[in-house]
Amino acid sequence: MNLLKHTILILIILQFGLLVKLNAQKVEPVYTDSTGKLFINSGTPVHIYISTNAKGTNAVQLQSEQPEGNPLKWGNHGPKLLSYVNLYTGKQIRFDLFADGLPPKTSTAFEPNKGYQKENTIYLSEGALIELSAHDSNSGTQSIFFSVNGSNFSRYENPIAFDSDGKFVIQFYSVDNVGNQEDEGERIIIIDSTPPTSAHQFGGPVFDNIVAKGTTIALSATDEIGVKSTHFKLNDGPQTPYTKPIAIGQLPEGEHTIYWFSIDLVGNTEEPRSLTFFVDKTPPLVFEEIVGNNYMIAGKEFSSGRSQLRIVGVDNKAGIKDIFYSINGKEFVRYEKPIYLSDISSAITIRSYAIDNVGNRSEGGTSGQQFAMPEVDITGPSVVYSFDGKRIVLRDTLWISSTTQIGILASDKGSGVNRIEFKLNDQPTIPFSEKFSVNTNGYQRVSVTAFDNVDNLNIVNFGFGVDGDAPEVFYHFSQKPHRTETLNDQTVPVFSQVLTMFLAATDNIAGLESISYSINGAKERTYTEPISGFKPGNIYHLSIKAIDKLGNQSNISVQFKVE
């Protein structure tokens, strides 16, 4: 056969011994792209065959005279060249291919307004997605695979979503079209759906959200992954990024509202907060006055000695914090309570100023206010008491009867007596207007308070005993009755003519003063000895009276018959 007269098809067939298996899918170590460019996995054994037809069905393996040519290996990354030289014509035919020994590189991506990355950690807001992409500048990327929190690797097809807050670990790698596999990469994903928490703080004087003209408002925010920005607006003004404390002194006096919110690094936005405050630029007003118990009599003014300097501050909003005063040019001191002026008898000059709770200060008077001081009366009235009626002293205690009148008298050399009040035992205090008596037996306590016309007072306490019980009367006959008779529906004892009658009486407190009696309505006689001389045939009516030393009196009547 004349070989020069026939076209011989030389077919080079590459046979490889390396297959990459990923998730039950084979990746061949050879790849031809859309332009027909041939890529081969670097280091893969290659066998060369020759055939006379395009399909290579009758291909025969070429053997190299050098041992290193069976099979061939291209170990370096880069373009490779096969050449065939026609020995008859000297023409060189080139076969180009590319040995690809570099794997793809996988990268992660997310929406910038929903997350941020710090080193190997990605912070995302709720609903944010992670996208994987791979780049291979040679044979191109065949597949990307990923795993979440140690799960089996899956082929990446759609962005990765997370259904809850927390920490997730994503592992990933890519494979190119000739089976080069990337080393596993890893990202830590933090899903955070919690917005920041913002707060305000006043800088400068503040009291119950009332602020002074120099006060500022500082805003701060905290967030687990970090705060991106804070925004605010005053009243209906424009929304402004917060960068430094907000000066509110330029606001007019009155009520204002600040609104603010913060955004974290993954876009979680806080619900707007607000604070209403009042800008107070008005200083207080101060009033001084002399107060106390003053009384004018016969053209002369008296004071109780409790006359006081009272200073009152009035403020439009924040309220008074401190008041300072000066008397007769002396150093200013803090006013804490009314000042007694009893040691000052001449005219005085007072200057004062007040500071409200946010630091606004009134101007102290330069000339001050002058006051004339009245004559001081610091002594309460003198009090005396008296008893009008029966009384007796027993064992250092004064005893009176229930009819004895008690009188109280007060006198005052200064402003004069205003009123007298008294209290008996634990009863309520009542005004004294006239003499009174006590009809309750036993020891009594009286407390008397007398006031003068400038409310000086004097208290006098005294006690006494009340005996309102009359003596107990006893009588005794010298013999027993012979019999009894019924006279006018009454039973009457009957005695003999030698009858003698004895009288007696007892009194537990004051003692007995006298016993007297009257027979059948005759003149009353003082009992000094037993009664006798009764005549037979007569009915006797005997009236007996006993009186104690306080005038308490008891009366009894006795009826009997003598025969």
pLDDT of residue 364: 66
- Cβ atoms 436, 466 nearer than 8 A: no
Helix (H) / strand (E) element for 394: namely strand 391-394
Q: Tokens 């002074």, residue?
A: 212
| Candidate from 78-92, 156-170, 429-443 with smallest mean pLDDT | 78-92
User: pLDDT band for position 46 (50/70/90)?
Assistant: confident
Question: pLDDT for 401-436, tens place per residue?
Answer: 999 999 999 999 888 999 999 999 999 999 999 999
> What would the mean pLDDT of 35-56 be, rounded to a whole number?
82
**Percentage of the chain surpassing pLDDT 70?**
90
Residue count of the chain: 563
Tell me the C-alpha distance between 306 and 341, whole Å.
7
pLDDT reading at 19 higher than 90: no
pLDDT reading at 20 higher than 80: no
Torsion of CA 386, 388, 391, 397, to 10 degrees: -20
Higher pLDDT, 278 or 294: 278
Residue type, 472: E
Torsion of CA 128, 130, 131, 134, to 10 degrees: 160
**3-state class (DSSP) for residue 171:** strand
> What would the mean pLDDT of 351-356 be, rounded to a whole number?
90
pLDDT reading at 23 higher than 70: no
pLDDT reading at 57 higher than 60: yes
Phi, psi angles (nearest 5°) of residue 67: -60, -35
pLDDT reading at 24 higher than 60: no
| Candidate from 89-93, 260-264, 492-496 with smallest mean pLDDT | 89-93
Q: How much is the mean pLDDT over the chain?
A: 87
- Cβ atoms 389, 351 nearer than 8 A: no
Tell me the C-alpha distance between 464 and 486, whole Å.
50
pLDDT of residue 73: 77
Tell me the C-alpha distance between 137 and 131, whole Å.
20
pLDDT of residue 39: 85
Tell me the C-alpha distance between 467 and 509, whole Å.
7
**3-state class (DSSP) for residue 235:** coil
pLDDT reading at 161 higher than 70: yes
Q: 71 preceded by cis ω (within 30°)?
A: yes
Higher pLDDT, 515 or 213: 515
> What would the mean pLDDT of 122-141 be, rounded to a whole number?
92
pLDDT of residue 15: 42
Taking residue 75's Cβ as centre, other Cβ atoms within 10 Å add up to 9
Taking residue 341's Cβ as centre, other Cβ atoms within 10 Å add up to 22
pLDDT of residue 5: 34
Using CA atoms, how far residue 388 sits from 382, 401, 448, 468, in Å, is 20, 10, 18, 15
Alpha carbon 265 to its chain's center: 34
Distance in Å from the first CA to the final CA of the chain: 207
Tell me the C-alpha distance between 120 and 107, whole Å.
12
Question: pLDDT for 489-535, tens place per residue?
Answer: 889 999 999 999 999 999 999 999 999 999 999 999 999 999 999 99
Decide the pairing of beta strands 397-400 and 457-466: parallel
User: pLDDT band for position 340 (50/70/90)?
Assistant: confident
> What would the mean pLDDT of 461-467 be, rounded to a whole number?
96
User: pLDDT band for position 38 (50/70/90)?
Assistant: confident
pLDDT reading at 230 higher than 50: yes
| Candidate from 195-199, 348-352, 503-507 with smallest mean pLDDT | 348-352
Report which of 146, 143, 119, 149 is spatially closest to residue 130, judged by C-alpha positions. Answer: 146
pLDDT of residue 299: 67
User: pLDDT band for position 370 (50/70/90)?
Assistant: low
User: pLDDT band for position 290 (50/70/90)?
Assistant: confident
User: pLDDT band for position 4 (50/70/90)?
Assistant: very low
pLDDT of residue 174: 96
Q: In 43-115, which residue ranges form alpha helices assigned H by DSSP? A: none
> What would the mean pLDDT of 438-442 be, rounded to a whole number?
94
Q: Phi-psi category of 551—alpha, beta or left, where left has phi over 0 and alpha has psi -120 to 50? A: left
